[in-house]
Amino acid sequence: MEYSFLNKINFPSDLRKINKKNLKKVSEELRHKTITTVSKTGGHLGAGLGVVELTVALHYVFNTPRDKLIWDVGHQAYPHKILTGRKNLIETLRKKNGLYGFVKRSESEYDPFGTAHSSTAVSAGLGIKIAKDIKRDNANVICVVGDGALSAGLAFEGLNNAGALKKKLIVILNDNKMSIDKPVGAMSTYLTRLLSSKSYSSLRNVIKKFSKTFPDSLSKTLYRTEEYSKGLLSGGTLFEELGFYYLGPIDGHNINDLVPILENVRDNKFDKPIFLHCITKKGKGYKPAEESEDKFHGVEKFNINTGSAIKKSNKKSYSQVFGETLSQLAGSDEKIIAITAAMMSGTGLKIFKDKFRERFFDVGIAEQHAVTMAAGMATEGYKPFVAIYSTFLQRAFDQIVHDVALQKLPVRFAIDRAGLVGSDGPTHAGSFDITYISTLPNFIVMAPSNQEELVKMIKTSALINDFPSAFRYPRGAVNIFDNKIYKEIEIGKGQILAEGEKVAILSLGTRLETCLDACIVLNDFNIKPTVADARFAKPLDTDLIDHLLETHEFLVTIEEGSIGGFASHVLNYINNIRKKRTTTIIKNIFFQDKFIDHMDPDDQYKEAQMDINSIIEKITSLFDNKVIDIKNYNAKKVDNIV
């Protein structure tokens, strides 16, 4: 496609010079550019395609960056990035040193608030609006929120407060009737009802209502718009009750409607926040996306003609192993219940839903509720498995403390995407769960070193009825998985995998494999570490630790998590609990005090100093500071490793 308009647009100021009648063409070009970009970079596509016209209209009408535009989640902001000075960098999306896959303040002045976790936009926008008012700055603040995001309590805390404060905050609901999977809950049903013809007010009533509520000029413009004359504009009672002017629903792909409505919203004084309900289509304008079940929510690089992924992995993921194993267990244990917070596919639970519909619960983007609801189920003797990504579970920390740990309720936490997650970057990394869960009394915390260990831990967890328990596992593929159900493991028992001398590596989680690879190299340099899999961050295998201390000069712990986690518990045991003294020197490998940027996982491990070279360096430095130059190291064994 020839970008006759887009070529001239570097910033919204260029867009604003274009005649209104050409904005449809601009949108077509922007949509095309978004599709071709994501076909090469991978990333989020469906959400961006659904807001192309909205993006053009918002930047056309509002004076960004002075007016503040806040995208909830930020996964739909690729078209926004293209229009706001980042067109020439767009193919660096999600790559090392490239553009971020979500919205990031440090990237552009057009990104006033960083996002990636859902449902923050209204609260952030309200905060900005309040600050602007205090400064006597009348800039507009516009928050674009998805219907999926409206399933979160946080979104309603924001709306509730905004309604009470009566600021002119502009909230745009981007209603595409999709979350990642199908949206769930009464709110979603309510939004659908708002759209059904029964709920529309008659045209007469609508005119009466809006000429009362809105300034004259707005009513006239609205009256002229096609949607309005079709009677598609109605009062939305719930949002009105919350203290908003409700406007809509309108067609979010009709730029000829969007522009005058937004102009009116911009130009008129309001003594309340405004809620503009836009109906859009996720994946709009790209057939393979529109026709796919998830509307191309998140995709790998794909062939633009067919929409099929260029690199298909036939390996299973840890999430799949989790879903399959839990389903197998649930077949013989009717107390098992699976809970997800809007991530059914991501957490591998679709298979569970298909087999045990009545024991599967998708609560929407409501991590806090998921945890407390599971705690309630546990009081009735059920075995709830709450499968949530490590990063999103952060939201539910108080519920984990107050509702689960304090009451010692046997809720099982399947903590997915634990550790580094590659191109999704620091907003999505599972860096803190070992720390925040292991710090809690009454918890049993496990981390499998491979898929078979994961299966054992799921089984172990199902049998722990007196304590809450958690197992954390990473994003990505497993090695070989033979679908056997392994036996459970003994609580608080690790295992030694390689007996060596002088130095012992005590690993928690999946970095174990890299440690074993590092040992192959170290053996050739006459360093023969003992390697042990701790399995448990809590309770610690103190017999194993005692043994390693008594038989080695050095002990190195490693975990894919932040300071304060497994290493901290090991050190606490050695320094404060263990009676015997030790002369063993202890080193710890964990995420140092920084967020790790988005890039390929291999590069992230280098950055975190958890790749094979860094582990080798750490160990050799214990002896004589000699660093093995692994690039010039020639053994066949490591050719495939490095």
Residues binding ligand TPP (CB under 6 A): 47, 50, 73, 75-76, 117-118, 146-149, 174, 176, 178-180, 282, 342, 365, 392, 395
- Do 207 and 219 form a contact (C-beta atoms < 8 A)? yes
Shortest distance, position 391 Cβ to ligand TPP, whole Å: 8
Shortest distance, position 626 Cβ to ligand TPP, whole Å: 45
Shortest distance, position 339 Cβ to ligand TPP, whole Å: 13
Give the span between the Cα atoms of 561 and 445, in whole angstroms.
Answer: 13
Closer Cβ to ligand TPP, 413 or 566, answer by number: 413
Closer Cβ to ligand TPP, 76 or 161, answer by number: 76
CB atoms within 10 A of CB 171: 26
Question: Taken in order 231, 146, 51, 40, is the CA torsion positive or negative?
Answer: negative
User: What is the layout of strands, in order, in the sheet containing 68-71?
Assistant: 68-71, 141-146, 169-175, 274-279, 245-251
Helices 121-134 + 153-165 axis angle, to 10? 30
- 49 Cβ neighbours under 8 A, 6+ residues apart: 31, 34, 35, 282, 283, 284, 285, 286, 289, 296
Shortest distance, position 43 Cβ to ligand TPP, whole Å: 12
Length of the chain: 642
Closer Cβ to ligand TPP, 184 or 411, answer by number: 184
Closer Cβ to ligand TPP, 124 or 531, answer by number: 124
Shortest distance, position 177 Cβ to ligand TPP, whole Å: 8
Q: Report residue 622 as tokens.
A: 């214990």
Shortest distance, position 75 Cβ to ligand TPP, whole Å: 5
- 346 Cβ neighbours under 8 A, 6+ residues apart: 180, 319, 389, 416
Shortest distance, position 312 Cβ to ligand TPP, whole Å: 23
Q: Report residue 597 as tokens.
A: 């940027």
Closer Cβ to ligand TPP, 179 or 264, answer by number: 179
**Of 12, 54, 5, 59, which Cα lies nearest the Cα of 33?**
5
Identity of the residue numbered 520: I
State the SS3 of 103-130: ECHHHCCCCCCCECCCCCHHHHHHHHHH
Whose structure tokens read 């809970």?
339
User: What is the layout of strands, in order, in the sheet containing 530-533?
Assistant: 495-498, 530-533, 502-508, 552-562, 585-591
- Do 444 and 464 form a contact (C-beta atoms < 8 A)? yes
Helices 52-61 + 255-267 axis angle, to 10? 40
Question: 186: helix, coil or strand?
Answer: helix
Q: How many helices (H) and strands (E) does the chain have?
A: 27, 19
Task: State residue 316 phi and psi, 5-degree precision.
Answer: -80, 155
Identity of the residue numbered 382: Y
- Do 167 and 197 form a contact (C-beta atoms < 8 A)? no
Helices 216-224 + 255-267 axis angle, to 10? 180
Closer Cβ to ligand TPP, 77 or 262, answer by number: 77
Shortest distance, position 188 Cβ to ligand TPP, whole Å: 9
CB atoms within 10 A of CB 358: 6
- Do 426 and 419 form a contact (C-beta atoms < 8 A)? no
Closer Cβ to ligand TPP, 419 or 529, answer by number: 419
Closer Cβ to ligand TPP, 149 or 537, answer by number: 149
Closer Cβ to ligand TPP, 296 or 473, answer by number: 296
Shortest distance, position 551 Cβ to ligand TPP, whole Å: 45
**Omega before 79 within 30 of 0, i.e. cis:** no
Q: In sequence order, what DSSP letters do the residues of 518-536 get, joined into one string?
A: HHHHHHHTT---EEEE--E
| Distant-in-sequence contacts of 13-17, Cβ < 8 A, 24+ apart | 15/56, 15/59, 15/60, 15/83, 16/59, 16/60
Closer Cβ to ligand TPP, 365 or 628, answer by number: 365
Active site residues: 282, 367, 395
Shortest distance, position 48 Cβ to ligand TPP, whole Å: 8
Closer Cβ to ligand TPP, 148 or 410, answer by number: 148
Shortest distance, position 352 Cβ to ligand TPP, whole Å: 18
- 486 Cβ neighbours under 8 A, 6+ residues apart: 452, 455, 456, 459
Residue nearest to ligand TPP (CB): 146
